[in-house]
Amino acid sequence: MFCHCVFQLHINMKFLSTILILSCIPLIQCWSCGEGKITEGLAWIIALPTETKSINKCCEDHDRRYDNFCSGIGSIPLKTADFLFERCLENTNNRYARFVVKPLFTAAIQLNSWWKKITNNFC
């Protein structure tokens, strides 16, 4: 009897976990932080404890500046776009965003910029 209950609990937990993950997919689809599904998912999980709308707005602005620069219509250099992104995260009203999200996202951008520099693929 005990084993049956534990087994049933295990199945219920799998079911609930699946429902929880599936319910988050629409939220992640509206998320603009990260390049590709893996980094988008990681960025979303990192930002989840804070107010994600303001974080996402910072990412959207940063991506727009990069896209404009790479398409030749923007006058803001990529380093300036990165700096403005950091300032945007700094200006959020949430301590978690300033002290956890900002350093992690900044490190990710620096790593990405370094990689693009050594591969000569800035855009």
d(CA 113, CA 123): 10
Give the count of domains, the chain. 2
C-beta atoms surrounding 87 within 10 Å: 11
49/66 same-domain check: yes
In this prediction, residues 13-21 reach a mean pLDDT of: 47
Residue labelled with tokens 């996402």: 56
Mean of the per-residue pLDDT values for the chain?
83
Say what the pTM is. Answer: 0.73
Asked if 56 and 107 sit in the same domain, the reply is yes
> What's the rounded mean pLDDT across residues 7-34?
57
Same domain membership, residue 18 and residue 46:
no
**C-beta of residue 56 within 8 angstroms of C-beta of residue 33:** yes
Give me the DSSP letters along the chain. -HHHHHHHHHHHHHHHHHHHHHHHHHHHHT---SSHHHHHHHHHHHHTTS-HHHHHHHHHHHHHHHHHHHTT---S-HHHHHHHHHHHHHTSS-HHIIIIIHHHHHHHHHHHHHHHHHTT---
70 shares its domain with 109: yes
Whether 27 has a pLDDT exceeding 70, the answer reads no
- Whether residue 92 sits in one domain with residue 37: yes
Residue 13, in any domain of the structure: yes
Residues of the domain holding 17: 1-30
For residue 78, what pLDDT band results from cuts at 50, 70 and 90?
very high
Instruction: Grade residue 7 by pLDDT with cuts at 50, 70 and 90.
Output: low
Which of 1-5, 49-53, 67-71, 76-80 is predicted least confidently? 1-5
Residue 122 confidence (pLDDT): 79
